[in-house]
Amino acid sequence: MKFGSLVALDGVDVSVKKGEILGMIGPNGSGKTTLFNVISGVFAPSSGEVLYKGRPITGMRPHAICRAGIARTFQVVQPFSRMTMMENVLVAAMHGGGLGMIEGRHKAEEILRLVGLGEKMHLTPGAVTTADRRRLELARALATDPEVVILDEIMAGLTPSEMQDALGLLKEVNRKGITIFMVEHIMKAVMTLCHRIIVLNYGRKISEGSPEQVAADPEVIRAYLGERYA
């Protein structure tokens, strides 16, 4: 992916296996969110292609990719502030998941209860905590009935206790058969949750493997983790 003379992604080759939790780490500016934007259709890549279940989705519009089964969250949570939590998730169920009003409302209630917002579904996003708005962002993605969810720093701004709750929730989502591809800077979360990790630096993939393998990779230690992981 090029932006003028800047090469934001340079020959990045990544595969995501059905049912796994794949983590992606790397310094700020290494290309992580850009890769998510390419996969989800926000950007069309300058070269190369994106395949989903063996079929090309390169350059498809974001709503079409969502309806094909790939949903995502964003680093900066931007819910519909004047709508209730229920209405926010209902929009996703109807326009992302293709459901009608009645089915969509049932789906929205089910998802809100799953993420722990069942008692707060009639509140607006401004009336709840950062952790709850993060849960709402996940709920909107899940309401589209995805096979894959792409999570961009879903735990940013959470307290240690809230992070533990989020880890349990993501494990439950994965147990339901949903594949997770996530970017996260909180290494404890990445090491605990992910089955496999890839590492980007300056737009290139520099390492891939189990959490233990990646944490022991000298290039990853130099570029990102620091000597405390050596």
Together in a domain, 40 and 99: no
pLDDT of residue 224: 87
Together in a domain, 60 and 162: yes
pLDDT at 69 over 60: yes
15 in a structural domain: yes
Together in a domain, 12 and 65: yes
75 in a structural domain: no
Together in a domain, 65 and 153: yes
CA–CA distance, 207 with 25 (Å, rounded to integer): 10
pLDDT of residue 157: 85
Together in a domain, 102 and 157: no
pLDDT in tens, 116-165: 999 999 999 999 999 999 999 999 999 999 999 999 999 988 899 999 99
pLDDT at 52 over 80: yes
Name the percent of the chain lying above pLDDT 90: 91
Total domains in the fold of the chain: 2
181 in a structural domain: yes
pLDDT of residue 6: 94
Together in a domain, 107 and 165: no
Together in a domain, 87 and 154: no
CATH number at residue 198: 3.40.50.300
* Range of the structural domain that residue 114 is part of: 80-145
Together in a domain, 154 and 221: yes
Domain boundary among 118, 145, 172: 145
Together in a domain, 30 and 60: yes
